[in-house]
Structure 1
Amino acid sequence: MTQKTFTDLMWAGSNDVKMTLMMSLACLALSTTMACAQMKDCAMKMPLETSQAVSEWYAVNDGVMGGKSSGGAKFDQGHMVFDGVINTNGGGFSSVRRDVTPGLLREATGLTLNVRSDGREYKVTMKTQARLRGRYISFQGVIPPSAPGEWAVVTVNFDDLKASIFGRPVRGASFAPAEVSEIGIIIADGQDGPFELHVKDIASCG
């Protein structure tokens, strides 16, 4: 019978599991109090500094409801760029999303993003197991505005999330961080025209 080593098990897991295990190993190797504390305080770290990391994001635009907006994620100059064109003659939204391992945000209270904005309003969007009449509920929070064209680290607190389905508010929906299986960024600000948001990383750290 073939026995699997710890390394075999680590690389057989999901990307999120691999990231967590690799951070733990690095913490042990460094053996410094500060480095270990920083790593343990982060429920999730999602750097977007490689084309492989950006390729895990996929577009969901208003074409799903007959709209004409376009948009998607691309890798450019060491980070992710979410860009496209909003057309309000229809759905009027564009988004990029990626799957995450449920349980990863169990102890999290918010998300921190390192972004460079164009001044338009963007939101973080997350999916859990919550549904209404068979449709998944979207939990969204506004990404705090920053000076257009300048990098800024901003935080979206989970207490500020609003529940909706296709932009329509849902009352009484409860957000469960432990159930988050998808994280995304969406623009639906009611304005026609091009948009461009640069993102270096997304994290959830205490």
Structure 2
Amino acid sequence: MVLKRVYLAMLTNIFLRAFVFYLYSLLMIFDFTHAKTSQNWYPLNDTVMGGVSSSSVKYTEGDGMRFSGFVSTENNGGFCMIKSPGVNIDCEAKSHIVCYLKGDGKQYQIRIKSNPQQPYSYVLNFKTSGNWERLAFPLEKFEAQFRGRVLDMPNFNAPTITEVAILIGNKKNEKFQLDIKWMGIE
């Protein structure tokens, strides 16, 4: 009985230390469990170039920020995107953007910029499982792209992130839904 208590105390101590380390190594960027955070994000669809895709971003109780809509390839369109407000995220000594999200099994892109004036973004594709999952995106894997074309430039290595966006554009007509509870950097 005493041995069992000692063992449980050791496990509890290990768990608490791991949890504290996790909390201090992850810097929360966006907490979408609050309605106000979700309201600051905005959609930008292919309608800016004549497409007819549609999307919305809204807060949903229990699921955080919901990005949903319909991607249409009509009129040479084919993407929906949501963008963050301007941010200034320090990337020094950080290696990953981390998201806790639930998708629909489809592929998305996470896009970042190191300067709000630059015409290109750094892009990384990811596929969702359909379940709640914690995904870590290595900053060094983000490729410079402009309008879907990979640029002959180094991957992301800037000291700051000034914009974050999520895009879906799989070259087909499809409904989509992506729920995000939070984003951080570690």
| Residue identity opposite 2:141 in structure 1 | D
1:94-113 to 2 correspondences below 5 Å: 94-113=80-99
C-alpha displacement of 1:143? 2.3
Selected match of 2:113 from 127, 131, 139: 127
Query: Counterpart in 2 of 1:10?
Result: none
CA distance in 1, matches of 2:43, 2:163: 13
1:114-150 CA-to-partner distances (Å, cap 9, x unmatched) read 111111101111112287xxx511111122432x2x2
Deviations 1:21-41 (A, max 9, x none): xxxxxxxxxxx9777644432
Contact 1:111–1:204 at 8 Å: present in 2 too? yes
What is the root-mean-square deviation of aligned Cα atoms in Å? 2.3
Larger of the two Rg values belongs to structure: 2
SS in 2 for 1:54: helix
CA contact (8 A) 1:144 1:155 kept: no
* CA distance 1:103–1:49, shift in 2 (3 Å): closer
Distance 1:38 1:144, change over 3 A: same
Count of residues paired in the alignment: 169
> Structure 2 length as normaliser, TM-score?
0.80
Correspondence list, 1:30-45, <5 A: 37-45=21-29
Tell me the equivalent position of 1:86: 71
Equivalent in the alignment of 2:179? 198
Q: Counterparts of 1:56-205 in structure 2 under 5 Å?
A: 56-78=40-62, 79-89=64-74, 90-129=76-115, 136-146=119-129, 148=130, 150-205=131-186
CA distance in 2, matches of 1:176, 1:91: 31
Change in Cα spacing, 1:63 to 1:80, as seen in structure 2 (3 Å) is same
Whole-Å Cα distance in 1 between the matches of residues 97 and 122 of structure 2?
13
**Residue 173 of structure 1, CA deviation:** 4.0
Deviations 1:37-62 (A, max 9, x none): 44432244421101101001111111
The answer to whether the 8 A contact 1:74-1:82 is kept is yes
Identity score, percent: 22
Q: Matched residues in 2 for 1:157 and 1:126: separation?
A: 12
Q: Give the gaps of 5 or more residues in structure 2.
A: 1-15
Partner Cα separation in structure 2 for residue 93 and residue 35 of structure 1: 38
Work out whether residues 127 and 136 of structure 1, in 8 Å CA contact, stay in contact via their aligned partners in 2.
Answer: no
How big is the shift at 1:158?
A: 1.4
Q: Distance in 1 between matches of 2:132 and 2:122?
A: 25
SS at match of 2:47: helix
SS of the residue corresponding to residue 115 of structure 2 reads strand
